[in-house]
Structure 1
Amino acid sequence: MRADFFSSLLKALPAAAAELRKKLDTAERQISPHHAMSLSTPLTTRDYGHAVWNHYLEMLQRDETTRENWPTQKDIEAATTDLRASLPDGRLPEDGIERLAVMLDLLVKAGAAEFDRTSREAKLAELKKGLSRGETHLVEHEIDAFLDANALSALPGSAERTVLARQLMRAEVEALTRAQERDQGNYSGMATDPIVKPPAGGAAEAPVVAVPITRLFEDYISFRQALGKHSDGGKSWENIVLHLIGFLGHSNAVRVTKRNLLDWRDHLHREGKSPKTIADKYLACIRALFKWAFENDRLAENVAATVHQPVGKTTRTRERGYTEDEAKALLRASANYTPANAANPAQRESDHVIRAKRWLPVLCAFTGARVVEITQLRKEDRKRRLSPTLLS
C-alpha cells in the first residue's frame, strides 16, 4: 500500500518541479538589473558533447551519494524502538492522521530506498514521454545552469536550445537506466545512446568554469558603491564592457588574454578613438575591473595589468588664451547679450540669469578667475583691500 501511495504521489512530481524551476528562473532573469548586458558565446558542437557527458556523470554520482545515505537496517530498527518508547501504552493512535504523524520519521527511514526508486521510475517515464512529444521543460533548469556556468548562450525557443534540451534528456534517460540496473545489483552497465560518450580529447579537456565579465562588472560596481564611488551605477563604463564583449565574441573573463586586449586596443584605434580616450576611458575601465577581480580571487591572473596606450603631447598651433581681437569680440557679445523672447513665460530667462551672462565674462577678464569660481562666490568672499597709503 505504501508503494502505491509513493507511486501516485510522485508521478506528477517531476513535471511540477520542472515547471516551478522554470517560473523561478524566468522571474530572476526579469528582475536582474543588468540582464540586458548578458551577452554570451553561442553554443558549439564541442559544448554539446561536454554538456551531455558531464550531466550523465553528475547524475550517476548523485545516485551513488543518495544510495550511500539510505538508512541502514540498524537505523530503521532504532527508529522503530524510539517510536515504541514514545507511545504511552505501546499502541498506535486509531486516527489515521495522528498515526501518520507519529510514524512519519519511521516511514521516511523505512521507505527511503523505495521512495528513491519510485521517484526515478516516475521521472524516467516522464522523460521518455517528453522526448516522444517534443517537450523539454523537464531540463530547462539544467540548461540554464550549464549556460550560466560556462558563459554560453542559447535563447529560449532557438534551435540550439532545443537540441541541447533533447540531448540532456537523453543523458538523463541513460543515467536513470543505469540506476535501475544498480537496483538489481548490476554496476557495470554502460551507456548505449551514441551521444552519451566522453567528448573528443577526453574529459580532461572539459571547459574551465566560466567567470562572466558582466557578472564581474556588476560585483565590482557594487563593491565600489559601498565605498561611495560610482553613484551612477556604472553607467559610464557599461558600454565599454559591452564593447569589449562584442569584440571578443564571448563574455568569459577566464578566456581573455593580454593579446585579446591589445587587439581590442588596436581595434579602438581603427574605429577612430583618440589615444587619450582609449587610455583614460576604455583601458582604464578594463584595467580597474580586472585588477579588482584578481585581487579578490575572482581571476587567477590580471592579464590587463600591462596593457597601456601611449599618449603623445598635444601639438599647439597657437598660444594659450584669447587673442586681443577674440577677447574684445567675447566681451562685446556678453555686454550686448539679449535673451530670446519666448512666448511661454515659464521659458523666459529671469533677470539675474541675464545679468550673470552679461557680467560673468567681464569679471573673469578683470580677475583672471574661471567662470565656475566666479559663480560660486558668496558675499562673504568679497573683501576690500586697503591701499598702503591709507594704512600709513
Structure 2
Amino acid sequence: MRVPLELVEMVGKKELVKALGTKDETVAKRLLGSVVRQWEQHFDDLRARRALTADDKADAVWQHYNASLQRDEQTRRAMPTPSDIEAEERKVWSKIDAGEISSRDFVGMINANTELELLRSKRAHDANLRKQRLNALKRHLITGETFLIEDAAKDYIETNRLLIEVGSDDYRDLCLRMMRSDIEHLERTFERDQGNYSGAPKDPIVKPATGTARESAAPGETIMELFEVYAGENPKSISADTLNQARRDVGTFVDHVGNTCPAHRIDKKAVREWKALLMKYPVKATETKAFEGMKIAQIVKHNEKVGKPVLTPRTVNRYLSSLGAFCSWLVAHGYIEPNPTDGMSLAKDKKKKVFPFTTDQMNPVQLAAVHRMPE
C-alpha cells in the first residue's frame, strides 16, 4: 500500500509491504483485509497527532508533578500504622503460644520474623528509595541523562498523540523538564514525612499549565466533524463551492491546532496564532511540490528558504471569515462563547491600486490606433 503523501515524512517510507505467509490465493485474500485495516488505522492515528508545543511541555510538567504526589499519597495510605504492627506482633506471639511456631521450626521462625520486620521497616525503606531517586535525578539533570523519566515522557507523548521524535532536541527538553518536576515532587514527599503538607514548588517551571488544546475531542465532536454538521445545516444557504472553500479554510486552522482539538478550545489565542501563520502562508501551498506532506507551520518555516509569494490581507480575511461563520454556528449551538474571530480581520488597504492614464501615456496609444484604422 502506498503511504499518503502527507504522512510519508512521519512513516519514513513511501510504500508499506507485508508478506502474508501463504501461497494460497484464497487464504491471502482473507488475510489481506486485516492488514489493510491495520495500516489504515495507523494512518488515521498519525493524522490525528499534532506537533509538540510549549503549552504541551508546561502541561506535562504540571501533570507529572500532581500525578506523582497523588501516587505518594496512595502509598502513604497503604503504609502499616503502629496499630497494624502491634497486631502483627500479637499474631506472631499467639502462634508461638499455640505451638504453631517453635524454636525447632527454624524456617517458620524466620518467616514470621521477616514479615514483622518488613512491616516495621516499610516506611524507612520507601523513604530510602525516594532519597536514592532524588539524588540520581539531580545528578542526571547535570549530565543530561534522561532514562529515569523516559517512560513517563513517552506515556505523555502517546496519551496526547504528539508528533515528537525520540532523541530529538524537543524530546530531550521535555524529559529534562519532567525530571525537574519529579525532583520537586520528591522534595514535597520529604516535607510530608515531617507532617508538612504546605510545601509548594520552588522551580519556576513547575506551575499550573494555562495553555489551550490540552484535551482531545469527544467522539463525533472534533472540529471537522462538527463542521460537517454545520455544512449539512448550511444556515446561510451558501453555494456548494463556497462551502467547499470554507471547508479548506477551516482545515488549515485544524492543521494548526490538531485534528483532535475539541471545538470549545477555539479561542482568541488559537485564532491569533493561526492568523499570524496565514500572513506568511504561501499562495497555493497545497499545490506546490516543495511543501508536500507539510503542516501549515512547517510550510511557513520552509517558505523562508523557498521564498514563494504569500497570501494578501484580503485572502487572509477570507480565511478568517470562513472560520468566523463556522464559529457563529458553534456559538449558537453552545460549543463556544463568544466568537473568537470577532475583531480579528486585517485592516483593508485603502491605497489606490489602479490609476488613470496620463495624457502623455494615452497619446501614443491613440496614434497607434489611428495608424491601424483601415483606409
Scaled to the shorter chain, the TM-score interval is 0.3 to 0.5
TM norm structure 2: 0.45
Rg: which structure is higher?
A: 1
TM norm structure 1: 0.43
